[in-house]
């Protein structure tokens, strides 16, 4: 067990190191000067420009050699400091991201978990019911093939513009201030439901289709037929098949995480939902390389942690991993 | 305060997550909806009636802004305002920091070309080098302290700190408050035009608060809840909006021009579909976003703009083609002129912008500066779209076409120009394509150069470009800014270059620019005489090629408020961008009225 996780952790640490280094390099080696772009937005007189430029280069730590900057980056990173946002006049990037993170997590975590759970259940049921299967199959394929953003636009158009029952933008009503009241929670939820729904639907389609296909395969497998020939009740066979079918779905979850996060980001942009995705758009639009770098780092860490959790989950759902680990340890 | 709000959001968001995850009912798909349908249903009816998804009755306990007291705006913010700077000395503070919270001595009205005393009661040049300011009486800071002449003298003195990024102390020699309502500013060789800009652009700060902050780190202060004299005070900011609340002790109320909205909620810019959707639903009253194709919506009556017909918008700046005037073949004025005659600006105006911009005058001077345009001279020297004329200029200058049908340099080498605009500026990218097609039609080979904003700015500074669309000079009181940009000498260090990207050198023109700067702002005839000479140089030598006037994008949704500025109505810029509040946009807030009081 220890060796298994030790090896996994080492791989994750290496991945993190490489990814963070690339993440650090890209903005630095791109042409253009972020400080200049900050100052070019305001009407700074030529006489005052050099002083301001020096001030901001010092603030962003750009007045050091490139190797010192790289060393400083790692020191700062280990202290949880991701640098300062250029566009937001030097606000620490960590603060900026922390403000947006709750919204993204509130979308992603329930959407991923619920769609995975519901999709698998539904796919398993659909695999056994001809009528349901015939009806669901095309819908499922359409859903899963849809780009997140496209479905989001359709959902926004139908519920926001045509029916006008759900707000199309923002984290909560623009007429409200956060407070611990029912009205505020209601507003929060009504703004949450459309982005959640569009994420949920696409993923739900994917998981359901996947599960349906695997279940059909498992129900045809030798062990199912053998169980059947022994006279086991079909409910029992289905339970075994479901457990076996779940394994590739867990692996699929780990593989899909990156795509899902990218999907969540564009969904946020469509709904003006104030999470990391919206922030990413702002960072790109403002050429705010430090913010961009910080966001990517957060995404890298997020994906790595999620993958690690899936690794742990795998140990629990697949007894073979546990057996293998015991065998390895003995 | 801000932290508690953040905590509340965090708690609420987390509880939704927990709620959604916890309610694992046996039936799969309804689970998602059942977790949220209850609260959503309560706010659903309101969503149809107003963007503010909460009806008044249920809102009793929550902190909400009533529709008829709240102005919803967007178009200024590109990042989360909760982390932004509200420091009036910051080069890019949040919208309204200057104008709503902090005020300037004067307002400048770019439509009437008029200065209105604001924090100043009056100000006069008592002699050629002495500017005497009488401050308005009865003005208090939002913390209750009285505003006096000392604050003005202090603010002028603050500009000595390098980080403040001001150059006034290159020509100001002294600023003293001689009594509580008089400030005497002494000048050495005064630059009247620049100083006039200062009087309506620089916010006056309270000495009793900023005196202790005055050092090189003065910019690090984010300064939310800043103490100003203005009609509004910072209330709160979140990830996607910020809120100002009316200052009930604002001097303008006693002076008889109160501002109407109690709250101003400014919403962070999002994707175009969001801004457009909110505008159509009435969720935003005033959008200062560039919305492609908005003319169609205006014609159908969904939204309103300043002009009901083309060009729909007032002009904010001139977009011109910067030519690299020290690089072959753009170093030849005849070649630059040929470029000017060849560009199909009417196509840019009609096809790219759908008529929401106007073609620029050949001088490039904004409509605000119309009285400085020497029209007879423009008639004889100006250019317009005429490919045949462009070709004849090239032929006349001795350029020959090569075997591929394109003109070559005089030494026979091929010409292939690049045109650079920032990637993602979709309107400019489309305009660039029109420019390239126009050049090719005349026989000048050209292609697009793809570069993001920073790369393009760096290329401009280093002179590593052929042609670039630039609009760096914004609306203001004086054409001096425009000519300072065009003719700036000596050429700046490439790392800090922010004027005269084409490195055009003309000592006579630069002498005239400096002479213009030193002309009093009320000496219109003197300014006209100098600008006429400058126009002659710009029209004959073509250091840059003016193309079109970018709009002061402004779309109004008629649902919430009426009485927005319009041609024929109240004539001010309906624009919330930084710099516009003090260009009289603040007066818009005194004129609008709620639709349902």
Per-residue pLDDT of A98-139, as tens digits, reads 889 899 989 988 999 999 999 999 888 888 887 888 888 888
Inter-residue contact A162 to B44 (CB < 8 Å)? no
Contact B42, B58 (CB under 8 A): yes
Q: Residue B261: which of B50, B67, B101 has the closest Cα?
A: B67
Closest-approach residue (CA) in chain B for A197 = B32
Whole-prediction pTM: 0.85
- Give me the residue from B14, B70, B164 closest to A175, CB to CB: B70
Alpha helix (H) residue ranges in B23-148: 28-49
Q: Look at the block and give the residue holding tokens 């329930």.
A: A110
Q: In what order do the strands lie in the sheet with B544-551?
A: B358-359, B544-551, B315-323, B467-470, B417-422, B446-451
Write out the two tokens for A285: 């639009």
Top pLDDT among B481 and B569 is at B481
CA dist B486 and B381 (Å) reads 18
Nearest by Cα to B82 from B143, B7, B11 = B7
What six digits make up the tokens of A138? 């095309």
Residue A176 is nearest to which of B54, B85, B458, comparing CB atoms?
A: B54
- Alpha helices (H) in B236-365, listed in sequence order: 251-254, 272-281, 294-299, 333-342, 345-347
Task: Give the whole-angstrom CA distance, residue A301 versus residue B422.
Answer: 32
CA distances A123 to A127, A136, A146, A150, B519, Å, are 6, 9, 18, 23, 80
Inter-chain CB proximity A175 and B219 less than 8 Å: no
Give the ranges where B260-386 is alpha helix by DSSP (H).
Answer: 272-281, 294-299, 333-342, 345-347, 375-381
CA distances from A18 to A66, A262, A297 (A): 17, 20, 11
Interface test with B, best of A52, A187, A212, A273 (most B CBs within 10 A): A187
Is B12 in Cβ contact with A188 (below 8 Å)?
A: yes
Q: B311 φ, ψ to 5°?
A: -90, 10
Q: How many A×B Cβ pairs under 8 Å?
A: 340
- What percent of chain B stands above pLDDT 90? 71
Would you place residue B408 in the very low, low, confident or very high pLDDT band (cuts 50, 70, 90)?
Answer: very high
Q: What Rg value do the Cα atoms of chain A yield, rounded?
A: 25
Q: Which of A90, A125, A178 to mutate to test the interface with B (most CBs of B within 10 A)?
A: A178
Residue range B329-356: mean pLDDT, rounded = 95
Alpha-carbon gap, residue B512 to B514, rounded angstroms? 5
Tokens of B104: 């300037």
With CA atoms as reference, the chain B residue closest to A118 would be B28
Residue that the structure tokens 């640490």 belong to: A13
**H-type helices in B23-139, by residue range?**
28-49
Q: Is the ipTM of this complex over 0.85?
A: no
- The Cα-based distances of A58 to A53, A63, A290, B28, B216 in angstroms read 9, 6, 14, 55, 12
H helices of B386-506, in order, are 387-396, 426-442, 453-462, 480-487
Q: How far is CA B394 from the centre of its chain?
A: 37
DSSP letter string over A13-79?
HHHHHHHHHHHHHHHHHSSS-HHHHHHHTTT--TTTHHHHHHHHHHHTTTTS-HHHHHHHHHHHHHT
Q: Is the pLDDT of residue B59 over 70?
A: no
In angstroms, rounded to a whole number, what is the distance separating the alpha carbons of residues B489 and B504?
9
* A243 token code pair: 């457990």
Q: How far apart are CA A191 and CA A187, in angstroms?
A: 6
Confidence band of B18 (pLDDT split at 50, 70, 90): very low
The yes-or-no verdict on residue B575 having pLDDT over 80 is: yes
The stretch B526-542 carries a mean pLDDT of 96
Rg (CA), chain B: 27
Q: Kindly state the helix (H) or strand (E) to which residue A240 belongs, with its residue range.
A: helix A234-271
Mean pLDDT of A35-62: 75
Report pLDDT digits (tens) over B314-326. Answer: 999 999 999 999 9
Listed in sequence order, the residues at least 6 apart from A65 whose beta carbon sits closer than 8 Å to its beta carbon are: none
Instruction: Tell me if A186 and B39 make a contact (CB, 8 A cut-off).
Output: yes
Taking the C-alpha atoms of residue A125 and residue A215, their distance in angstroms, rounded to an integer, is 9
Paired with B322 in beta bridges are B468, B544
Nearest to B578 by CA among B90, B219, B82, B221: B90
- As a whole-number percent, the residues of chain A with pLDDT over 90 amount to 11
List pLDDT tens digits, range B417-426: 999 998 888 8
Share of chain B above pLDDT 70, in %: 90
Q: Closest partner residue to B48 among A87, A109, A164, by Cβ? A: A164
Q: Which residues of B touch A187 (CB under 8 A)?
A: 43, 53-54
Strands B561-562 and B593-594: antiparallel
- pLDDT at res. B501: 93
pLDDT at B173: 95
User: What pLDDT shows up at residue B372?
Assistant: 96
CB–CB of B92 and A197 under 8 A? no
Top residue of A123, A189, A207, A270 to mutate, by most chain B CBs within 10 Å, is: A189
Cα atoms in the Cβ-side hemisphere of radius 13 Å centred on B359: 15
Characterize the bridge pairing of strands B561-562 and B315-323. Answer: unpaired
Alpha-carbon gap, residue B20 to B10, rounded angstroms:
15
**What is the C-alpha to C-alpha distance for residues B43 and B46, in angstroms, rounded to an integer?**
6
A211 vs A140: CA distance, rounded Å: 11
Partner-chain residue, chosen from B39, B220, B498, that has the shortest CB–CB distance to A40: B498
Cis (ω within 30 of 0) for the bond into B510? no
CA–CA distance, B25 with B33 (Å, rounded to integer): 11
Which residue of B78, B92, B579 is in closest CB contact with A282?
B78
Could you report the per-residue pLDDT of B188-240, keeping only the tens digit for each? 989 999 999 999 999 999 999 999 887 777 888 889 889 999 999 999 998 88
Cβ pair A102, B13 in contact under 8 A: yes
Looking at the DSSP bridge assignments, the partners of residue B186 are: B130, B174
> What would the pLDDT profile of B21-54 be if each residue is shown by its tens digit?
333 333 333 333 333 333 333 333 333 333 333 3
Q: Does a cis peptide bond (omega within 30 degrees of 0) precede residue B315?
A: no
Residue B476 has pLDDT above 50, yes or no: yes
Q: For residue B329, is the peptide bond before it cis, meaning its omega torsion is within 30 degrees of 0?
A: yes
Q: What is the pLDDT of residues B119-178, one digit of tens each?
A: 999 999 999 999 999 999 999 999 999 999 999 999 999 999 877 878 899 999 999 999
Q: How big is chain A, counted in residues?
A: 330
| pLDDT score of B72 more than 70 | yes
Which residues in chain B are closer than 8 Å to A91, comparing Cβ atoms?
Answer: 83-85, 222
**Do residues A82 and A294 touch, judged by C-beta distance below 8 A?**
yes
State the pLDDT confidence band at A330, using cuts at 50, 70 and 90.
very low
Which of the two residues, A326 and B329, has the higher pLDDT score?
B329
């Amino acid at each position: 067990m220890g060796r298994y996780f030790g090896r996994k952790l080492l791989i994750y640490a290496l991945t993190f190191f490489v990814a963070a280094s690339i993440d650090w390099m890209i903005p630095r080696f791109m042409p253009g000067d972020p400080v200049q772009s900050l100052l070019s937005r305001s009407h700074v007189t030529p006489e005052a420009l050099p002083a301001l430029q020096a001030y901001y280069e010092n603030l962003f730590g750009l007045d050091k050699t490139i190797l010192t900057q790289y060393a400083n980056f790692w020191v700062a990173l280990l202290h949880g400091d991701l640098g300062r946002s250029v566009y937001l006049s030097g606000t620490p990037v960590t603060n900026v991201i922390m403000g947006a993170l709750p919204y993204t997590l509130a979308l992603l975590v329930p959407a991923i978990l619920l769609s995975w759970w519901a999709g698998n259940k539904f796919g398993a049921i659909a695999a056994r019911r001809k009528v349901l299967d015939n009806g669901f199959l095309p819908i499922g394929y359409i859903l899963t093939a849809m780009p997140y953003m496209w479905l989001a636009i359709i959902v926004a158009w139908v519920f926001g513009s045509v029916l006008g029952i759900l707000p199309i933008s923002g984290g909560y009503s623009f007429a409200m201030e956060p407070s611990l009241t029912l009205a505020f929670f209601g507003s929060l939820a009504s703004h949450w439901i459309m982005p959640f729904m569009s994420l949920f639907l696409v993923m739900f389609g994917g998981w359901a289709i996947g599960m349906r296909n695997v279940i059909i395969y498992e129900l045809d497998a030798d062990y199912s037929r053998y169980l059947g020939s022994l006279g086991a009740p079909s409910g029992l066979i289905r339970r075994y098949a479901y457990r076996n079918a779940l394994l590739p779905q867990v692996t699929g979850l780990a593989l899909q995480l990156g795509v899902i996060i990218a999907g969540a980001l564009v969904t946020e942009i469509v709904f003006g939902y104030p999470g990391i995705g919206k922030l990413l758009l702002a960072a790109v639009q403002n050429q705010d390389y430090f913010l961009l770098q910080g966001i990517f780092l957060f995404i890298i860490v997020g994906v790595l942690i999620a993958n690690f959790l899936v690794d742990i989950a795998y140990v629990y759902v697949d007894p073979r991993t546990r057996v293998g680990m015991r065998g390895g340890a003995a | 305060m801000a932290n508690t709000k953040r905590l509340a959001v965090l708690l609420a968001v987390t509880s939704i997550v927990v709620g959604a995850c916890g309610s694992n009912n046996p039936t799969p798909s309804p689970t998602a909806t059942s977790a949220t349908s209850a609260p959503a249903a309560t706010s659903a009816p309101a969503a149809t009636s107003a963007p503010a998804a909460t009806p008044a009755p249920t809102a009793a306990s929550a902190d909400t802004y009533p529709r008829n007291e709240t102005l919803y705006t967007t178009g200024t913010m590109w990042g989360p305002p909760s982390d932004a700077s509200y420091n009036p000395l910051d080069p890019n503070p949040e919208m309204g920091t200057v104008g709503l919270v902090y005020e300037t001595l004067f307002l400048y009205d770019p439509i009437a070309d008029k200065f209105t005393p604001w924090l100043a009661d009056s100000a006069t040049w008592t002699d050629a080098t002495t500017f005497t300011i009488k401050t308005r009486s009865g003005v208090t800071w939002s913390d209750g302290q009285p505003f006096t002449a000392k604050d003005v003298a202090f603010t002028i003195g603050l500009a000595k700190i390098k980080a403040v990024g001001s150059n006034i102390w290159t020509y100001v020699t002294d600023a003293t408050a001689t009594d509580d309502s008089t400030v005497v500013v002494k000048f050495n060789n005064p630059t009247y035009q620049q100083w006039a800009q200062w009087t309506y652009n620089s916010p006056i700060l309270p000495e009793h608060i900023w005196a202790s902050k005055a050092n090189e780190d003065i910019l690090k202060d984010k300064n939310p809840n800043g103490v100003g004299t203005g009609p509004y005070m910072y209330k709160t900011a979140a990830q996607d909006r910020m809120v100002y609340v009316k200052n009930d002790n604002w001097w303008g109320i006693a002076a008889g021009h109160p501002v109407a909205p109690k709250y101003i909620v400014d919403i962070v810019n999002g994707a175009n579909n969001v801004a457009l959707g909110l505008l159509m639903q009435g969720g935003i009253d005033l959008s200062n976003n560039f919305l492609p194709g908005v003319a169609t919506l205006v014609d159908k009556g969904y939204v309103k703009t300043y002009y009901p017909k083309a060009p729909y918008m007032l002009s904010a700046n001139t977009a011109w083609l910067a030519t690299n005037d020290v690089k072959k073949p753009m170093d030849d004025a005849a070649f630059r002129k040929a470029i000017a005659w060849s560009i199909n600006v009417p196509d840019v105006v009609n096809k790219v912008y759908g008529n929401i911009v106007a073609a620029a005058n050949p001088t490039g001077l904004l409509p605000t500066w119309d009285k400085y345009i020497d029209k007879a001279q423009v008639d004889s020297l100006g250019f317009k779209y005429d490919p045949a004329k462009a070709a004849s200029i090239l032929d006349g200058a001795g350029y020959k076409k090569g075997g591929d049908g394109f003109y070559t340099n005089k030494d026979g080498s091929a010409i292939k120009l690049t045109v650079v605009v920032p990637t993602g500026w979709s309107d400019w990218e489309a305009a660039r394509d029109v420019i390239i097609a126009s050049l090719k039609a005349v026989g000048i080979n050209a292609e697009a150069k793809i570069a993001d904003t920073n790369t393009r700015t760096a290329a401009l500074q280093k002179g590593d470009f052929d042609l670039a669309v630039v609009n760096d000079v914004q609306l203001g009181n004086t054409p001096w800014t425009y000519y300072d940009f065009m003719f700036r000498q000596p050429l700046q260090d490439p790392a800090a270059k922010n004027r005269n990207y084409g490195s055009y050198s003309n000592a006579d023109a630069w002498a005239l620019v400096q002479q213009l700067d030193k002309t009093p702002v009320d000496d219109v005839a003197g300014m006209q005489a100098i600008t006429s000479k400058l126009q002659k140089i710009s029209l004959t030598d073509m250091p840059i090629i003016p193309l079109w006037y970018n709009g002061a994008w402004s779309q109004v949704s008629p649902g919430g408020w009426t009485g927005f500025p319009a041609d024929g109505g109240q004539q001010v810029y309906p624009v919330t961008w930084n710099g516009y509040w003090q260009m009289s946009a603040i007066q818009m807030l005194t004129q609008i009225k709620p639709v349902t009081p």
